Every structure is written in C-alpha cells, then in structure tokens.
Amino acid sequence: MTKRAIFDAFGTAVRIGRRTNPYRQLLRGGIKQGRRPHPGDAHLIMTLNLELHELAEHLGIRLPESRRVEIECALQAEFNSIEAYPDAIEAVAMLRERGVALGICSNLAKPYGAAVKQLFPSMNAYAFSFEIGAAKPDPRIYQALLERLDARSGRPTRTDAPEVWMVGDSVQCDRDGARAVGIVGHYLDRSGASAIQNLERFAGLTLG
C-alpha cells in the first residue's frame, strides 16, 4: 500500500523572510474606521476564498485607492520573500524517490497558496483552508487532502494510520488534529524540543 506524507506549509515547508503583515495592517485600518476587531477575524481571513481587497469589502473596511495600493505592495513584498526550507526540499526528494504520495495541508489566506505551489509544484495534492472553507484542526481539511491524494491514484479514500503521516509546527493542528482523524501526526520543533527537529528526520520515520 502506497504511503502518504502530508506537510504543513508555513513554519514547516516554507518560511517568510520579510514580514510586512498586510492583513494586520488591514484590520488596524478597520479599527481606525470604528470597526471593532472580532475573535473570528483570523479564521475568516484563512477560510474565505477572497483576495485582500475583496476581504476588506466583506469585512466592511473602506480602502481608499492609495491605501489599497500600499497594503497590496506590502503583501507582494511578503510574498516575494517566501522561500522553501532546505530540509523540506530534501525530505520531499527522499519521499518521492521511494514512491510516497505527497501533500500539503495548510491554514493560509488566498494569496499565499500560489507561493506554496510555486515552491513545491510537484506535490500530488494540496488542501488550503481558503479553498476548503475549513481550517485545521477541523477534520474536513485533512479529509479533503486525503480525497485529493487518493483521487490521483485511483484508490478509495482510507485513513490507515500506518500509511498516512503528517508533520507541522503546530501541536494542535499538525499532531493532535491529524491524529484525531487517524493520521500519524508529528510535531516539528526546529529548536530541538521535540523528537523531530528537521524534515529529513520525518522522512526517515515515514519510510521506516
């Protein structure tokens, strides 16, 4: 049975080199206009399939043309600084050489999905929260990725724990959330505080 390996994106497979926080800038603009921040704002940003200016409209935040251009430039600068972790490139190569089906499952706003696909264009499937309308640890996003992976191989969707592995830098989302749906979830801590400190280690465990 073909094994499947799932990676989180930001903080795991890719990183932002220059943070400009465009969405934080947008929400701060809303505060200045009298819009009160809501605890669910971050969830909305990651689960609505909207560009930044469309999201502003959805949230009722007015963006004068000059301010829209400024925030979108900040977004582009952050986008341009996104890069792959070297150990992610190596781990993907190790797993692909052994025939493991590969996927990326990530909570992110719509503009960032393109960056992930540019850096890892040969993954078998992707599940991004803005596409699915659900964010980790919601079971629906893991299930969506499994369905996409298995559709590519023509096999029925199954969550056989020994055959589906996941890694990411969130205990709640990438270890515990994955385990709750039958995936062997692992926590990545590059500081050395967990059993998996780099993605080559994860690839080795997956391959057994």
Q: What is the pLDDT of residues 69-125, one digit of tens each?
A: 999 999 999 999 999 999 999 999 999 999 999 999 999 999 999 999 999 999 999
Residue-range domain boundaries for the chain: 4-15+83-207, 22-80
Please tell me the pTM assigned to this model.
0.92
Q: Which of 169, 204, 185, 171 is nearest to 15 (CA)?
A: 169
Categorize the per-residue pLDDT at 162 as very low, low, confident or very high, splitting at 50, 70 and 90: low
CA distance 187 to 174: 6
Angle between helices 52-59 and 22-32 (to 10 degrees): 30
Dist. CA 196–CA 7, nearest whole Å: 13
Q: Which conformational region is residue 126 in: left (phi greater than 0), alpha (psi within -120 to 50 degrees), or beta?
A: beta
The tokens for 102 are 């590969």
Task: Give me the CATH topology for the region 4-15+83-207.
Answer: Rossmann fold (3.40.50)
* Res 161: pLDDT: 47
pLDDT at 194: 85
Distance CA 134, CA 43 (A): 9
**Contacts made by residues 153-161, CB under 8 angstroms, sequence distance 24+:** 153/2, 153/101, 153/124, 155/2, 159/183, 160/1
Whole-angstrom distance, CA of residue 145 vs CA of residue 66: 39
pLDDT band at 153 (very low <50, low <70, confident <90, very high): very low
For residue 120, is it left (φ>0), alpha (ψ between -120 and 50) or beta? Answer: beta
Look over the chain and give the mean of its residue pLDDT values, rounded to a whole number. 93
